[in-house]
Amino acid sequence: MAAVQGQMKCKLYPSAFSGEVVFQVTTTVGKDYEGVAPKHYVQPTAAPTEGGTDGCVKVRVLSNGGNEARVYVPDGQILTVSADKVHAS
């Protein structure tokens, strides 16, 4: 299966830099992952709050089957997350 563009549900937080956002997602092993993405990679485009805003970050979906999805996130990491957090765009 070729990688396809998708979106992953996550929490969004402000970053120290104006052009990016911090995203947080829980992986299938139960650990929270925090990464950084350019603002144009996230929805909603409204400014995230210190307490976290529900949103989505653009990802490349490497595989999505069963209960797990493997995604390539904007900061270059490959994560395995619950499949219900990911949808193709």
Residues contacting residue 69 through CB under 8 Å, at least 6 positions apart = 61, 63, 80, 81, 82, 83, 85, 86
Q: Does residue 1 carry a pLDDT above 60?
A: no
pLDDT tens per residue across span 35-73: 999 999 999 877 888 999 999 999 999 998 889 999 999
